[in-house]
Each structure stands twice: as structure tokens, then as C-alpha cells.
Amino acid sequence: MILGGMSVHFNEAAREYLNQQHEAIGVRIDDFSATYVHNNSYDDPSFYIDWTPTIPHTETKYFEAHGILGIATGYDNEKHVIDDQGNYFQNREGVMIGDEYIMPMIGVGVTATAFGHYQVNIDLTPDCCYVFQSATSSKT
């Protein structure tokens, strides 16, 4: 089960003005996960689906590196004014499918496991670093 998270945006203005604390809940089965995020970076609801295969020869009892390939909803390509000077933030890497803007997710990450069940995931994408926690069954 995936619980909560945060993001650290690489762009200074995005880091200062966009939401970086995320109420989230999700499930992970093997290398696949589905997560509902109540308040994404734009303070809108999102749904993430991703595949995070382990990178060969990186898995130990306490650590693994993985790739990330997925999609996210709840974002758009509108300009979001973020301060009194008229600076804005705008997504540019998605497509409209029906009424929904779908944003691709690609990156790499690491997972650290403690006490057999508790995990901290740090995922890097071109725009930001995501950190979230999860509880899982023990690795054998």
C-alpha cells in the first residue's frame, strides 16, 4: 500500500509556488502501481499508473534501483500564474484524450526497505523528485 508523498520540483519558481505535499493512497503489485493523489502539484486530484521494473543487478535485501514508465491524469497544459509578477508554470509534455490531459511519466528511482515491510521510494523524473512511503509484505 502506498501512503502519502511529496515532490521537490527542479524549477525554482515551481518549487516555490506549486504544491509539494501530496495526500495519496495506492497499491503496488509486483512492478505495477496505481495511486490516487488528492492534491497534485496544481492542487488538483490525479491518478497515476506506472510500471517500475527493477534494474538488473541492483536488488539487495534493503535496496533496489528501478526504471519508471507510466502516465498521470489531473494535469493540464494551461498556463498557471504562480506569482504577482505574472510568472507562470505550464506542462508541455502531455496529450488530450477525450476530456482528459494525460501526462507521461518516465524516470529512474530507488527503493529502500526497512523492517521488512516499510519502504521509502525516491523517484527522479525530468521535472521533479518524488518521495513516497509504502508498506509491503516481506521480501523473501
Identify the structural domains of the chain with CATH numbers, from first to last.
2-135 (2.40.160)
Quote the CA–CA distance of 135 and 13 in Å, as a whole number: 33
Write out pLDDT tens, residues 25-83: 999 898 999 999 998 888 889 999 999 999 999 999 999 999 999 999 987 777 666 66
Write out pLDDT tens, residues 101-124: 888 899 999 999 988 788 999 999
Sign of the four-CA dihedral 18, 22, 28, 77 = negative
pTM: 0.80
Backbone φ and ψ for 29, nearest 5 degrees, come out as -125, 115
